[in-house]
Amino acid sequence: MRSDFADDFTWHQRAEWPGRAVYTVDDLPTLWEELDEVYPEFELKAVEYFEAGDAVVVEVHTSARPSSSDERVEGVIWHVWQLTDGVLQNAHVYTERSDALVAARG
């Protein structure tokens, strides 16, 4: 999958994320490790994709159990993926749909 990402790809976490705000393509394994630490059990399910300008907006349903709790947390987050000629340039994660749409439209 590495070939699907631009060399300077960046992943931008939402403001509520307790870790770093930005990860490079080489940092993605670190992001997954951090997710495993914060949420030892989590599921992400993309339920809707749609184009908005040069971006693809993805509605993602989440189900997770934080490491500090026995209770699961359910929610929805929004990914905005920017592509150029089929290559992933960057991705941003948002809590609110409206923020994702504003970002996607530039």
Domain residue spans of the chain:
2-105
The CATH class, in words, for 2-105 is alpha beta
pTM of the model: 0.89
Nearest CA to 23 among 11, 33, 36?
11
pLDDT for 102 beyond 80: yes
Mean of the pLDDT values across residues 7-25?
A: 92
Mean of the pLDDT values across residues 79-86?
A: 94
Angle at 60 between CA 9 and CA 66, to 5 degrees: 95
pLDDT for 17 beyond 90: no
pLDDT for 3 beyond 90: no
Residue 81 to residue 61: CA distance in whole angstroms? 16
